[in-house]
Amino acid sequence: MEINSESLRFILGIKLKQFRQEKGLSLKDLSGKTGLSVSYLSEIEKGKKYPKPEKIILLAHGLGRSFDELVSLQLEDDNNPVTALLNSPVFNEFPLQQFGITLTDIFDLVTNTPSKAGAFVRTLLEIGRNYDMEVEHFLLASLRSYQKMHMNYFEELEEAASDFRGEYQDKLAQNQNKSGITKEFLEEVLEQRFNVKVIYEDLSGQPGLESLRSIWVDGPVEKVVVNAKLTNQQRTFALAREIGYRYMNLKDRPATSSWMKVESFDMVYNNFKVSYFAGAVILPESLLKPELTELLGQERWDSDRFVAMMNQYNATPEMFLHRLSQLIPHIFKLKRLHYLRLQNEGGVDSFHLTKELNTTNIFVPRGIGPNEHHCRRWVSISLLHELGEQQKQGKQPNVLVAAQRSKFMASGEEFFNIAIARPLSLDNLNSGMTLGFQIDEPFKSKVKFWNDPEVPQMNVNETCERCPLGELDGQPKCESRIAPPSILQRRDSQKQREANLKSFIAAHQRS
- Contact yes or no for 400/302 (Cβ under 8 A): no
Among 11-20, 67-76, 217-226, which stretch is predicted with the lowest mean pLDDT? 67-76
CA 430 to chain centre: 22
Buried b (16+ CB within 10 A) or exposed e, 117-153: bbeebeebbeebeeeeeebbebbbebbbebbeeebbb
pTM of the model: 0.78
Rounded distance between C-alpha atoms, residue 111 and residue 27, angstroms? 14
Asked whether residue 132 carries a pLDDT value surpassing 60, the answer given is no
* Strand 214-217 versus strand 223-227 pairing type: antiparallel
Asked whether residue 86 carries a pLDDT value surpassing 70, the answer given is no
pLDDT in tens, 393-447: 999 888 999 999 999 988 899 999 999 999 998 878 999 999 999 999 999 999 9
CA dist 320 to 200, 419, 428, 430, Å? 24, 12, 21, 17
Rounded distance between C-alpha atoms, residue 386 and residue 419, angstroms? 12
| CA nearest neighbour of 366 among 377, 375, 355, 376 | 355
Asked whether residue 165 carries a pLDDT value surpassing 50, the answer given is yes
Of the two residues 224 and 469, the one the predictor is more confident about is: 224
Residues 6+ apart with CB under 8 A from 395: none
Rounded distance between C-alpha atoms, residue 461 and residue 408, angstroms? 5
Residues 6+ apart with CB under 8 A from 287: 178, 179
Please, what is the end-to-end C-alpha distance for the chain in angstroms? 62
**What pLDDT shows up at residue 101?**
62
Q: Give the Cα-Cα-Cα angle 377, 380, 384 (nearest 5 degrees).
A: 100
**What pLDDT shows up at residue 78?**
46
CA dist 305 to 74, 230, 298, 445, Å? 66, 26, 10, 21
**pLDDT above 90 coverage of the chain, percent:** 61
pLDDT in tens, 354-382: 888 888 888 777 667 778 899 999 999 99
Find the length of the chain. 511
Q: Give the Cα-Cα-Cα angle 449, 455, 458 (nearest 5 degrees).
A: 125
341: phi then psi, degrees, rounded to nearest 5 = -130, 120
- Contact yes or no for 65/23 (Cβ under 8 A): no
Asked whether residue 192 carries a pLDDT value surpassing 80, the answer given is yes
**What pLDDT shows up at residue 47?**
79
* Strand 429-438 versus strand 256-257 pairing type: unpaired
- Contact yes or no for 298/305 (Cβ under 8 A): yes
Burial class (CB in 10 A: 0-12, 13-18, 19+), 416: buried
**What pLDDT shows up at residue 79?**
47
Residues 6+ apart with CB under 8 A from 437: 328, 334, 336, 337, 415, 416, 443, 447
Rounded distance between C-alpha atoms, residue 30 and residue 15, angstroms? 14
Tell me what the mean pLDDT of segment 65-91 comes to. Answer: 64
Asked whether residue 127 carries a pLDDT value surpassing 60, the answer given is no
- Residue 88: half-sphere exposure toward Cβ, Cα within 13 Å: 22
Rounded distance between C-alpha atoms, residue 498 and residue 336, angstroms? 35
Asked whether residue 70 carries a pLDDT value surpassing 90, the answer given is no
**What pLDDT shows up at residue 402?**
97
Confidence of residue 113 (pLDDT cuts 50, 70, 90): low
CA dist 448 to 41, 405, 506, Å? 63, 14, 54
* Strand 414-423 versus strand 337-345 pairing type: unpaired
Asked whether residue 2 carries a pLDDT value surpassing 50, the answer given is no
**Whole-number mean pLDDT of the chain?**
87
Among 124-128, 260-264, 277-281, 414-418, which stretch is predicted with the lowest mean pLDDT? 124-128
Rounded distance between C-alpha atoms, residue 238 and residue 214, angstroms? 7
Among 24-38, 127-141, 213-227, 334-348, which stretch is predicted with the lowest mean pLDDT? 127-141
Maximum CA pair distance of the chain?
Answer: 91
Rounded distance between C-alpha atoms, residue 363 and residue 374, angstroms? 12
Helices and strands counted in the chain (H then E)? 21, 10
**What pLDDT shows up at residue 193?**
97
